[in-house]
Structure formats: C-alpha cells, structure tokens
Amino acid sequence: MSQPVLELQGLEISLPRGADRAHAVERVDLTVRPGEIVCLVGESGSGKSAIAHTIMGLQAKALVPTAGKILLQGEDVLTMSHARLRQLRCTTMSMIFQEPMTALNPVFACGEQIDEVLRTHTALTATARQARVLDMIQKVGLVDPQRMLRSYPHQLSGGQRQRIMIAMALVLEPLLLIADEPTTALDVTTQAQILALIRTLQREHGTGVLFITHDFGVVAEIADRVAVLRQGELVEFGDKEQVLARPTHEYTRMLIGSVPSMTPRVRVQAAQGEPILRTECLVKTYPNSKTPAVNQVSLELRRGETLGIVGESGSGKSTVARCIAKLISTTSGSIFQHQQNIAPLSTRQMRPLRQCVQIVFQDPYRSLNPRRTVGDSIIEGPMNYGLSRKEAWARASELMELVRLEPSMLERFPHEFSGGQRQRICIARSLAMKPEILVADEAVSALDVSVQAQVLSLLDEVRDQLNLAMLFITHDLRVAAQVCDRIAVMSRGEIVETGRTADIFAAPAHPYTRTLFEAAPGANWLFEAGGARLKEVK
Amino acid sequence: MNAANQPHGRTTALQSLLRNPSVMIGAVILLCVLLIGLLAPFLHTMSPDEINPSVRNKLPGYESTLRDDDGNKFKFVHLMGTDSLGRDIYSRVVFGARVSLLIGATVALISAVIGLVLGLLAGYFRWLDAIVMRVMDGLMAIPAILLALSMVALLNAGLSTVILAIAITEIPRVVRLVRSVVLSVREEPYVESAIAVGTPTHVLLVRHILPNTIAPLIVQTTYIAAHAILVEAVLSFLGVGISPETPTWGNIMAEGRAMFVMLPHNIFFPGVFLAVTVLAVNLFGDGLRDLLDPRMRKRL
C-alpha cells in the first residue's frame, strides 16, 4: 500500500476557556490515501471543520492544536514555517468551501482568480497560464469558458461558482483536496453534478479527498471510507459499506437511523371535510422583476392533513408560504381562508384574521428576538388578541410542556438554547395563537439529522393532537416523504405536479420530478435504525 | 455564551467599558470640562463680560487692581491675559465651556431624536422612504456652514438659532444611519414572526426594531456632539453665531483674530480648550463604537 497523502496522528485541538468542552478535536487518527475519498461526517459542532482548517493552517486563532501531528506526505504541517505552508497550499493541498459566493473575491473576474494560483506557484508565461486556466475551466464542465474567464462571481449561479472554486483548487493537481461541505448550499440537482465532477476529477488525477459533510446521502454517494466524528472524538472509521451497513458505534447507528427514509410513510388519511385554505391562480410578481415568482398556483388544504411543497431554491415555494401567511401582498389570484378571500385585504384588515395561519421559519437563530425572553416572545401574540399577561403566560407554560421543554425556561433568552430547542420554541409561539393552519417554511432544514427527526415527530404529533392543517415547505424529498400526505412539486414558480405522497414517490409523472428523484443523494440506499443497506434493483 | 454567565452580563459590559482606554480618557476629560463649566463662578473667575479699558491687551499673568461692589480695592491676576476690551480671557474661556457643552449636548439630542423617528419611519414604510430620503439628500447637498449662515441671517442670532441651524444639518446623517439599520432588521425572521402574530406596527417598531438602532445611534451621537461644538466655534468666529458679548470659544477667538500676531494667547487658550474637548468626545465615541458594534464584539 502506498504512503498516505494525509495522516492525522492523535490530533488534539483545544478550545478557548469557557467553551462547552475543553477540546474541539480529541486524539483523532485518520489517514487519506491517494485516490480515495474519505468522508468526515458529524453534526454541527463536532469539530469537522476545525480539522479541515487546521490541516490547511487556516484555523481560527482561538483554536490551538495542542498535540499530535498532521503529516502531509510525511511532513508535519503543524511544525512547518509559514513560508513552507504557503508553498504547499494549492500545490500539494487545496480546499473548497461551503459558500462559493463568499469564498471567491467579488471584485476580480473568475479567470484572474484561477490565474493568481498559477502566477504565485509557477513560472509559466502569461499565454501558458491562460491556456491552462481555459483547459481547467473546460475540465470542470463549464460551457463557454471564454465568457467564464471574464465573468465576476455575482454573474454566475451557485453551481457555476462552485465549479470555479474546484477549478481553482485543482489547477495545480494537488495530492490532497479538502472539501468542506461543498454542496450544502446547492440545490439537489446541482449537488449531484458537483459530486459527480469531484468524483471524476479525483479519479483522473488520483487525488486524495477529505470530504466533510453532515449528510449521509452524500456519504453513500461519494465515499470510499467514512470517519464519524462526535464532539471532537472519532467514534468510527472504516470502509463505506462497513460503516453504513454494519455500524459498530451506537452514535453512528443513531445518525443513520435518523436519516429520513425515502419510502413514504403510510398514514391513515386524516383529511376531513371542506378545505380550510384554498388558493386560486395565485400570482406574485416582485417589484422590479418581470417573471412572476409564483405563477397560477392553486392549492387546497384540509384539516388534519399535511401538504408538502417541494422544490429547489428560486422555485417560489417560500413565496407561496409568505403569501398564504399574508407577510407579503399578492399580485393577483385569491386565497380563501374558510370562505373569506384574504388576498385583497390590507394590513389593518388582516390583523383580526392572523390567528388562523401561523408560520415557522427556517433559521432558528434569527426567528426569536435576541433581546427578549422566550416567554415574552411566546405571549406576544396571545396578548395582541386580548389575553392578559397571566393567562398568556399560563398558556405558554402548557405549550412549553407540549414541545417538551421546561416551563421554567420561559424566563431565559434565546441564546441559551440549542437550534433544535429554539425551533421548538418557535413552534410553541405559533401554537400559542391557536392556529388552524401551521406553515413550516423549511422548518427543519437548518437542523442536524438527529434533531431534525425529533422536531419532525413533534410537528406530526402536534398536528394530530390539535387537528391542524399543515403546509410543509421543503427542498428535501426525504423529509417530505416522512411528513406529507400530499405533495405539490414546484419549479420556476409553477406547480408541475401534485398528488398523494405515495403515488408521487412510486411513479413521478413530470420530468422535473423525476430529475429531482434521480438527483437525491444516496437514493439507492435504505437508511434504517440498525444501519443502511443497498436497495435491491428491480 | 452559556446560561451561567448571563446574570453577570451587565457588570461585564460596565467592566469592559471601564477597561477601554479611549472611553476612560475621553470620559475623564469630558467630566473635567463639564465640572469647569458648572462650577465656573467658583473657579476664581470674574464676570466674563466685564469691560475694563485700563487693562486692554495684557499678556497672561498680568496683575491688575480692581474694585469690588463695596469699592474696596483688590488684586486680580489675569491667568490668560485680557482681550482688546480688557475682559479677562480666563473667565471667558471657563464660562465658554458652558455654551460649548450645551450646544454639543442639545444638538446631539435634538438631531438624534428627530433623526431616529424619521429614520424608523423611512426604513419601515417604503412609500415614505422615497419622500424622506429625497428631502434628506437635499439637506445634505447644502453646506452645513452656509445653511447655518442663512438661518442666522433670517432669524435673529442667538443660542437657539445656532442650535437649530446645526441640528438641521446633522439630522440627515442620523436618518441615514437609522434607516440602514431598520432596512436590515426588518428582514429578520423574528420581525416577520411578530407581524404574523398580529403585533400592531407601532409596537413592532418600538419593541423589535428600535432596540437594534440604539447602539450605533449612541456612537453617532457623540460624533455629532463633537461636530456641533466645532461648527458653533466656526460660526462664532465668523461673527454669525451667538452674539459677541456671550463668552463662547469661537467668540473669544474671533475677538483675538485682529491681534493674533502680537497677542497669540487670545486665540491659543480657547483653541486648546476647544481641541481637547472635541478630541475627548471623539475618543469617547470611538471607544463606545468598539464596545457596542456587534461586529467588533464578535472578535473579542
């Protein structure tokens, strides 16, 4: 066996005093061999990004590597000089980041940014460099390379930017590529393309890849070997098939078990009676935009059912949610709450009717006013509708128990809670209004899988207990399969397909829906409580 | 970060305030100037507008013989000399601190309050934004000194006219600042959540949006105070500010302008006071910004 490109020996990175634990990373041993992809999996705060940044010598000042070695081709990164480190970056090791918009410099054309790598590390002439850059841009599958050279990052889509980042990272054919959640900010279809691209380029050049992700779907798609990190400790490290199919550590088993299954869950259809919410030919065109963000959308929602709106970014799914919650005005069409059309109502006319529809947002860190206690946030709504502080507080205490938090926590501020807890608080705040319709706008997308599973089951339980209608907006087919009774697939502002979840998953009719299913990472694996297994091909 | 150190939140804020050198130096100097202004009659001064033709244009340290109300003679040392009308410059500088601080504080307060209200409304109500901001753009296009000059010319010269004139030119800066904060905060999901639970707009503005503007506003206010003190001095120096018999640092310097080459102390002492006071206010503001700016705080 050849010498590993990267070898971590007992790496330990300490956290500053007062952090929730002493070490960001504790005694991690890890190897990446040439030509293989090692996936480093963990939930947020597990220290996976700390490892990646330390290997590149880019760690934050507060994170100090205190023990161990990082051997790059046998040379210890931790003890080498800054000059040597600078020499090795891009030539021997490269990194791509999660957010390609912020990783590229907005004031330079993409071509120049790739060229800078060559200018710094090689003695090539301008024409030779130019040829090399063009060649690389072609290799990462960008059409019209000449135009790409001259384009600025803001002129490109997320996927194109990430391709530019990959071109920049691989232009000098480094032995090691570190990819820090490179597809997390991208749509599934783009993600599938980028994953395929990384795989192809890595095979061609025999690059060793350390691929950091939180998504087991991506792991199933791309990994050769998998390392599972939990609170800075490496709990499991082995071949993909072994780790996925026969996880030995409890934590790995829990993580794999938490991945929502692609098989729709069968639920006794509970939808009852007349629709309590109905949209007819809903159109929303934002000012200064010619194409409507939402075009001719007609939906129906009944008590006790969950309707999922599935689509990629820019498909207009969130705009539908915000129209229905009357956070933005509609351009044309109607929204019927029971029998009343609320679409033309003004802010003032709308206020008495707001209780009916409540919304939970994606980002639990920004959904609560950081200056107010969570109790004050929860009772704000009921008090707007005439409840006394005492009554509202009593209701808030009951709701805290419903979302499995202590009523005594009402006195605390949002920053004292974790993301999952905050999302529960947001749900409690919505429920305090006694709504009939709960809109969840990507409500679990920002959460770790294990927390996601808990919040999903909470939403399910709440809907059944309070007999709510739920509008569930998500980009994630797995999540949709688990909570939705019916699904509407949106693309470019229009609903391309609607139907019962089981039907759509069994036989997607529209070509776009089929593309979505094909792009879903790890679709040919079944994730179950004990481990994952490959789906039998029919 | 954790629940454990939350109860100490306020003390740590105060501690870091005290530990910040620029805040400390600025605050101490400002406090001294404030005390000088407040205690002016007790700091061995004479009446700042008492004219004494026999001791005109004397150098610092000149000892003159004066009579008190009962006609008794006594010696008085002019620490900073006298001006061309024989007034004691030391007394005028000490009393001048009152005017400068009063103008700094009131201008800052007036422009902060008006700017805050306009900024909140302009930032939140899009239709109002276009109107308010075009008016502000118009105000900003007029040089501050010119606007003040014409206002003083139109209304009668006096303390309130000067305050009003300076405040009007400062308001657009506050409006822009507050508006920019409101524009970013209004997109926060917690603001949308509050709308969704039926919070009336005025409550929404005060409860969820206004608190975010306070920290940058306080910092901006200190800069406005410093600027107002300077502008007042300039206006007085040009002879269009507060009437010349009132002791302000600008007036004292204007008085000494003609004799500057021979008797530089006429301008030197009020100039030093002016510079030190403005420096102190700016130091204080810089320090506050380091402490209050959330981007700075994250780095700590």
A438-460 average pLDDT score: 90
Contacts of A377 in chain B (CB under 8 A): 190, 193
Contact A443, A455 (CB under 8 A): yes
A86-107 average pLDDT score: 89
Which percentage of chain A shows pLDDT scores above 90?
A: 56
Q: B2 at the A interface (CB within 8 A)?
A: yes
DSSP H helices, A171-309, are 188-205, 216-222, 240-245, 250-258
CB-nearest to B199 from A325, A380, A426 is A380
A141-152 average pLDDT score: 88
A142-146 average pLDDT score: 87
Of A176, A140, A172, A175, the residue nearest A159 (C-alpha): A140
Q: What is the pLDDT of residue B180?
A: 93
Contact A188, A223 (CB under 8 A): no
Contacts of B6 in chain A (CB under 8 A): 413, 416
Q: What is the pLDDT of residue A270?
A: 64
Q: Does A426 sit within 8 Å of B193, measured CB to CB? A: yes
CA distance A112 to A149: 7
Please state the ipTM of this predicted complex.
0.82
CB-nearest to A367 from B1, B2, B189 is B189
Best probe of the B interface among A360, A369, A412, by most B CBs < 10 A, is: A369
Q: A377 at the B interface (CB within 8 A)?
A: yes
Q: Which residue has the tokens 């000149």?
A: B62
A139-164 average pLDDT score: 89
Instruction: Name the DSSP letter for residue A4.
Output: P
Q: What is the pLDDT of residue A378?
A: 95
- How many other CB atoms sit within 10 Å of the CB of residue A268? 6
Q: B189 at the A interface (CB within 8 A)?
A: yes
Q: Does B199 sit within 8 Å of A416, measured CB to CB? A: no
Query: Quick one: pLDDT band at residue A1, thresholds 50, 70, 90?
Result: low
Q: Does B5 sit within 8 Å of A327, measured CB to CB? A: no
Neighbouring-strand partners of residue A303: A272
Q: State pLDDT tens for residues B9-34.
A: 445 667 777 778 888 899 999 999 99
Q: Does A351 sit within 8 Å of B193, measured CB to CB? A: no
Contacts of B201 in chain A (CB under 8 A): 347
Q: B300 at the A interface (CB within 8 A)?
A: no
* CA angle at A123 for the pair A117 and A125, rounded to the nearest 5°: 95
Q: What is the DSSP string of B214-269?
A: HHHHHHHHHHHHHHHHHHHHHHHHTT-SS-TTS--HHHHHHHHSTTTTT-THHHHH
Q: CA of B198: which chain A residue's CA is closest?
A: A351
Q: State pLDDT tens for residues A29-40.
A: 999 999 999 999
The shortest C-alpha distance from B199 to chain A (Å) reads 6
Q: Which residues contact B268 (CB under 8 A, 6 or more apart)?
A: none
Q: Of how many residues is chain A composed?
A: 538
Q: What is the DSSP string of A430-456?
A: HHTT--SEEEEESTTTTS-HHHHHHHH
CA distance A218 to B64: 92
Q: B289 at the A interface (CB within 8 A)?
A: no
CB-nearest to B198 from A362, A384, A413 is A384
Q: Does B190 sit within 8 Å of A377, measured CB to CB? A: yes
> Does residue A474 carry a pLDDT above 90?
yes
Q: Does B6 sit within 8 Å of A354, measured CB to CB? A: no
Q: Of how many residues is chain B composed?
A: 300
Contact A379, A432 (CB under 8 A): yes
> Does residue A377 carry a pLDDT above 80?
yes
Q: CA of A377: which chain B residue's CA is closest?
A: B194
Q: Does A381 sit within 8 Å of B198, measured CB to CB? A: yes
A345-360 average pLDDT score: 90
Contacts of A347 in chain B (CB under 8 A): 201
Contacts of B209 in chain A (CB under 8 A): none
CA distance A336 to B75: 92
Q: What is the pLDDT of residue B153?
A: 80
Contact A297, A453 (CB under 8 A): no
In single-letter form, the type of residue at position A319 comes to T
Q: What is the pLDDT of residue A187?
A: 87
Contacts of A367 in chain B (CB under 8 A): 189-190, 193
The shortest C-alpha distance from B2 to chain A (Å) reads 6
Phi, psi angle pair for A366, to nearest 5°: -115, 0
CB-nearest to A354 from B6, B189, B198 is B198
Q: CA of A431: which chain B residue's CA is closest?
A: B197
Of A256, A222, A214, the residue nearest A41 (C-alpha): A214
Give mean pLDDT in consecutive 10-residue pieces for chain B, a chain of 300 residues: 41 70 90 91 82 81 79 82 85 91 94 96 92 92 82 82 90 94 92 92 93 89 92 86 85 85 87 93 86 53
Two tokens at A125? 């002439």
Contacts of B2 in chain A (CB under 8 A): 18, 20, 416
> What part of A 12-31 touches B (C-beta under 8 Å)?
18-20
A495-499 average pLDDT score: 93
Q: A413 at the B interface (CB within 8 A)?
A: yes
A275-289 average pLDDT score: 90
Q: What is the DSSP string of A50-80?
A: HHHHHHHT---TT-EEEEEEEEETTEETTTS
Contacts of B189 in chain A (CB under 8 A): 361-363, 366-367
Residue A326 CA, distance from chain mean position: 26
CA distance B268 to A79: 59
CB-nearest to B188 from A366, A372, A416 is A366
Q: What is the pLDDT of residue A210?
A: 95
The shortest C-alpha distance from A337 to chain B (Å) reads 15
Q: A162 at the B interface (CB within 8 A)?
A: no
Query: Quick one: pLDDT band at residue A384, thresholds 50, 70, 90?
Result: very high
CA distance A354 to A335: 13
Radius of gyration over every alpha carbon of chain A, rounded to an integer in angstroms: 25
Query: Quick one: pLDDT band at residue A152, thresholds 50, 70, 90?
Result: very high
Best probe of the A interface among B193, B299, B300, by most A CBs < 10 A, is: B193
Query: Computed from CA positions of residues A479, A483, A487, A492, in that sequence, does the dihedral angle turn out positive or negative?
Result: negative
Which percentage of chain A shows pLDDT scores above 70?
A: 99
CA distance B111 to B171: 5
Best probe of the A interface among B126, B181, B190, B195, by most A CBs < 10 A, is: B190
CA distance A370 to A358: 20
More confident residue, B56 or A297: A297
CB-nearest to B190 from A369, A413, A430 is A369
Q: State pLDDT tens for residues A225-240.
A: 999 999 889 999 999 9
Element containing residue A404 per DSSP (H, E): none
> Does residue A15 carry a pLDDT above 90?
no
Q: What is the pLDDT of residue B82?
A: 84
